[in-house]
Amino acid sequence: MVDHFDDFPLVNDAGMQTSKKYLDLDWFSLQNQVRGMVSKLISPVVTQSNEDRDTVKMLRNMNAHLKKKMDELSFAFHKST
């Protein structure tokens, strides 16, 4: 059984030997780095999603406007005949 790994004492944790260096890892910093990477990865998706939402909203407004015009033209056509 090895008592030291790269000059760091080993700790028995749940029957496994773990380096003390591993246990002293700055988990807060690691979590922030992972959050930053995830944010960078999903930011293009979020941007595209927002643009798509705006496009759909614009298309709905245009559709409603065109439907209203069609109804007015239909009414005018039936009124004239």
Q: What is the pTM of this model?
A: 0.54
Angle among Cα 23, 31, 14 to the nearest 5 degrees reads 30
- What's the pLDDT score for residue 2? 46
- What's the pLDDT score for residue 15? 58
- What's the pLDDT score for residue 65? 97
Q: Whose CA is closest to 5, among 18, 14, 15, 24?
A: 18
- Distance from the Cα of residue 36 to its chain's centroid: 12
DSSP state of 10: E
Low-confidence ranges of the chain (pLDDT < 70): 1-24
- What's the pLDDT score for residue 39? 96
- What's the pLDDT score for residue 79? 84
Q: Which residues have C-beta within 8 Å of that of residue 21, sequence separation ≥ 6?
A: 6, 8
- What's the pLDDT score for residue 17? 58
